[in-house]
Amino acid sequence: MPFGCRPLQPTSIIVKGLRTLVSSPSKMALHPRQDGAKLIFAPGGPAMSASQGAPGQAAQFLKAEQLGGLRRKDLDPLSPITQFHSWYSVASQPEAGIAHPETCTLSTAQLPSGRVSARMVYLKELDSQGFVIYSNFGTSGKARDLFGTADGSSTGNPWASLVFWWEPLERQVRVEGRAMRLTTEESQKYYDTRARGSRIGAWASRQSAVLRPTENGDEDDGRKMLDNWVKETEARFDGVEKIPVPDYWGGLRIIPERVEFWQGRQNRLHDRFVYDRVHHDGEEGAEGEAKWTLERVSP
C-alpha cells in the first residue's frame, strides 16, 4: 500500500457516470488581422444546443453537474496526497482519455524582481512528502528562480507551484509548496531508468544556454552546436553502461503547503476544496505526520 495510506476507492461517487456525459467542443473565434481588430476572441465556434446556452457562448462544464458536483464527503479528510493519488488513479485509466495525466505546469518566481516563469514538466514520483519532478538545476531558469545565482542577480525563492489539468474529467489540481532537491543517490535511481540517449542528453544539454550557428548560411540556426555537444558526450561515455547522474541534474520535490482540488460546474460555479498544512510552533504533528485543514472556497 503506497505511502502508508488507507486503501483507495477506484472511483468516488463524483466519478460515477463521468465517462457517459460528453460535452460539446468549443472553439476560439479567429479573426483576420485588421487594425485594432482582435486576432482571437472567445467565445466562438458553432452554435450549441439550447440546453448548453445561446449560440456563441462558451461551453459549460456539465460532467459532474447531474451527479451533484464535488462534495466534502467525496474527499479524503486527512491528506491531499491520498486524495491526489485517488484522482490520479482515475485520470490514468485508459477510458478517461487522458494521454499523459502526469503532465503539469511548474511555476517559479525570480527574486527580487518577482518575475514568474512557467513550463510543462512530468510528475515522476509521488510519496508521503510530496511531488517529484526531474530536470536540469544548473543552468536552467528554474534553477535561477529556486536557488539563486552566483552573481546575486537572483537571490533564490524556494516557493513553487504545480498545476494539473485533466480536461476530459473537467478537473484541476493546484499544488503550492517549497521545493527541495533530492539526494544524488535518489536521483541516480531514476536516472538509471532513462533511455541511454536521454542520459546522454542530460550531460550534453546546457539548458537555456544560447545556441549559436557554427556555420554560415541558413542551414545552421544553432542546432549543430547542440549536436556537437551530444557527440562529445557520446564519445566521453563510449562503452560506459553505468553513466553517473550529473551533479546539476536530478530530482526536485515540491513539499505541499496548499493543495486545491477543482471540479468544473455549470455557469462557472465550480467546486473548489483547499487543503492547508497546519503548523504548530514549527512542528508538523504526532510522529511527523502532516496535519491539514480542508475547506470549501468560492469559485
CA 198: distance to chain centroid? 20
Cα(121)–Cα(103) distance, integer angstroms: 6
Q: How far apart are CA 149 and CA 161, in angstroms?
A: 20
Task: With residue 203 as reference, give the H or E element that holds it.
Answer: helix 196-204
Cell of 250: 536530478
Bridging pattern class, strands 271-278 and 249-263: antiparallel
Q: How far is CA 99 from CA 94, 103, 135, 166, 174, in A?
A: 8, 9, 21, 10, 19
Phi, psi of 294 (to 5 degrees): -135, 120
265 tagged catalytic: no
φ and ψ at 247, to 5 degrees? -70, -20
Q: Which of 236, 268, 272, 296 is catalytic?
A: 268
Q: Tell me which residues are annotated as active site.
A: 268
